[in-house]
Chain A
Amino acid sequence: MSAGLLATSPGGDVLVAAIVVPVIGILLLWLVRPRAVEWVALAALLANLGVAVAVLRTVSSSAAPVAYLIGGWQPPLGLALRADGIAAVFMAMAATVLVPVAIYARGAFGAPGERRPMVFWTMLLAITAALNLIFCGQDLFNLYVALELLTFAAVPLVSLDGSRETLKAALRYLVFALAGSVLYLLGVAIIYGAYGTLDLIGLASIRGPDGALLLAIGVMTAGLAAKTALFPLHLWLPPAHAGAPPAASAVLSALVVKGSFFIALRLWFDLLPPERAVAGSTLLGVFGAAAVIIGSAMALRQARLKLLVAYSTVAQLGYLFLVFPLGLGSGAAPFESTAWTAGALQLMAHAFAKAAMFMAAGLVYEAIGHDRIAEFRGLGRIAPLTVLTMTLASISLMGLPPSGGFSAKWLMLTAAFGEGAWWWVLVIAAGGLLAAGYVFRILVPAFTPPEEPIARVKPVVVRREAAALALAVIAILIGFLPLAPWPLLAIGRIAAGAP
Chain B
Amino acid sequence: MMGLVLDGGIALLTIGIAAWTIRAGDDFAAVVGFVAYGLVLTLAWTRLGAYDVALTEAAIGGGATGVILMRAGARVKPAPAARASRRARIIVGALSAAVAAGLSAIVLLPPQPAPSLALEVREHLASTGLGNPIGGVLMAYRAADTFLETVVVLLALFGVWSLGRDAHWGGRPGPALRPAEGGALPLFARVLVPAGIVIGIYIVWVGADAPGGKFQGATLLAAMAILAGMAGLVQAPATAGRRLRWLLAAGPIVFVGIGLAGIPLAGAFLAYPPGFEKPLILVIEVALTVSLAAMLALIVAGPTERAP
Contact = CB atoms under 8 A, between A and B. Distances in A.
Direct contact of A and B (CB under 8 A): yes
A24 B270 CA distance: 15
B246 A20 contact: no
B115 A195 contact: yes
The bracket for how many chain B residues form the interface is 35 or more
A146 B40 CA distance: 30
A119 B263 contact: no
Interface string A61-78: 000000011111100111
A122 B158 contact: yes
A71 B262 contact: yes
B249 A114 contact: no
Nearest to A137: B144
A197 B249 contact: no
Interface string A207-230: 000001001000100000000000
B31 interface: no
B268 A133 contact: no
B166 A215 contact: no
Contact of B141 (A78, A149, A162, A192): A78
Contact of B269 (A23, A71, A123, A159): A71
Interface of B is mostly: helix
A126 B154 CA distance: 10
Contact of B263 (A13, A167, A186, A215): A13
Q: Indicate the member of A68, A78, A129 with the most B CB atoms within 10 Å.
A: A78
A73 B142 CA distance: 9
A122 B155 contact: yes
Interface in B115-169: 115-117, 120-121, 124, 140-145, 148-149, 151-152, 154-156, 158-159, 161-166, 169
Interface in A281-299: none
A133 B148 contact: yes
A212 to B, nearest CB: 6
Contacts of A192: 115
The bracket for how many chain A residues form the interface is 35 or more
A119 B162 contact: yes
A119 B267 CA distance: 36
A149 B260 contact: no
A399 B289 CA distance: 53
A494 B166 CA distance: 49
B266 interface: yes
Contacts of A196: 114-117
Interface in A85-120: 114-116, 118-119
A118 B156 CA distance: 14
A27 B252 contact: yes
A440 interface: no
Interface string A145-160: 1101100110110011
Contacts of A155: 159
B11 interface: no
A71 B260 CA distance: 10
A146 B148 contact: yes
B39 interface: no
Contacts of B163: 156, 159, 162, 167
Contacts of B233: none
Contacts of B156: 152
A79 interface: yes
A215 B155 contact: no
Contacts of B246: 31
Contact of B106 (A68, A115, A212): A212
B158 A156 contact: yes
Given A24-B256, A160-B162, A215-B102, A152 B268 contact: no
Given A193-B106, A195-B115, A196-B117, A79 B249 contact: no
User: Which 8 A-B pairs give the minimum distances between C-beta atoms?
Assistant: A196-B115, A72-B268, A115-B169, A119-B162, A156-B162, A71-B270, A16-B269, A71-B271
Given A8-B268, A76-B117, A155-B159, 17 more contacts: A27-B256, A30-B245, A31-B246, A68-B268, A70-B270, A72-B267, A77-B120, A79-B144, A115-B166, A119-B161, A141-B145, A145-B145, A152-B155, A156-B158, A156-B159, A193-B106, A196-B114
Interface of B: 99, 102-103, 106, 110-111, 114-117, 120-121, 124, 140-145, 148-149, 151-152, 154-156, 158-159, 161-166, 169, 242, 245-246, 248-249, 252-253, 256, 259-260, 262-263, 266-272
8 contacts: A16-B263, A68-B269, A71-B272, A77-B121, A115-B161, A149-B151, A162-B165, A212-B106
